[in-house]
Amino acid sequence: MCGLLVGRADIGNARPFLEFLNTGLPVAIFSQPFSGHDWMYVPAMQRAGKRVVLAASSDYADIDRIVALLRVPVRMRQSRVLLVGPPAGTPAACVPEQVKQLTGVELVSIDVPTVVAAHQTIERAKAEAEAEQYWLTPAQKIVEPTPEEIVKSAAMYLALMLANWGGGVIETDDMMTLLHRVVFYGNHLDSVRDLAYLMGLRVVAETGVGG
């Protein structure tokens, strides 16, 4: 169960909400106008560490928004971040076990030589076909990057996928300086990020999941 969705249709205090909060499950509250002042207690509940979100609204579409928030913890626990290069940031952010305990996300560290080796296994023809299908053919006009950079980006995407690391997010060290020199010869990695985004990945440019 992701959490509980609670709606209040009568006027009263916020005590009934506590019964739901004490289950330990995340709670989303939909509070319509003129249904009491229960909503005013939610900030205090949040400061007390209760996992609760509020939509004080007359728009039923806001229910979709708060229900989506209830799914976040579950999706975080199903997520894996590929960390390319050494970790940085807060001490806790450098320890995969602590990252998982705090956020639910599995952090997988991969060194740069491993990524470079995976990149070099991709056949040129496959990278060109991938680039042609997703970038070159659909584009009305290419201003930047160059076609060669796009092909290299496609090769990197294929390498990350075929290596079976299974990540949905790629976290890179400070613009991956070393990887630029070895694979992209000093060029920026923007094309890799953009192509990965189009293919359903997320790419974070700076190391430090802890800020």
Q: What is the pLDDT of residue 3?
A: 66
Q: State the number of CA atoms in the 13 A half-sphere of 62 facing the CB.
A: 14
pLDDT exceeds 90 at position 37: no
Q: What is the pLDDT of residue 125?
A: 95
CA 134/CA 179 separation, integer angstroms: 23
Q: What is the pLDDT of residue 26?
A: 85
Q: What is the pLDDT of residue 126?
A: 92
- The tokens of 79 are what? 């997520």
Rounded to whole angstroms, what are the CA distances from 30 to 12, 121, 201? Answer: 14, 52, 32
CA dihedral for 69, 172, 114, 159, sign (positive or negative):
positive
- List, for residues 164-209, the tens digit of each pLDDT value: 665 555 555 544 444 454 445 444 444 455 555 444 444 444 444 4
How confident is residue 14, by pLDDT bands cut at 50, 70 and 90?
A: low
User: Do 178 and 207 meet the contact criterion of CB atoms below 8 Å apart?
Assistant: no
Q: What is the pLDDT of residue 182?
A: 43
Reduced to 3 states, what is the DSSP secondary structure of residue 6? strand
Average pLDDT, the chain: 74
Mean of pLDDT values over 18-39:
78
Residue whose structure tokens are 């980006």: 153
Mean of pLDDT values over 80-98:
82
- List, for residues 107-154, the tens digit of each pLDDT value: 888 787 887 888 888 899 999 999 999 888 988 988 877 888 888 888
Reduced to 3 states, what is the DSSP secondary structure of residue 183? helix
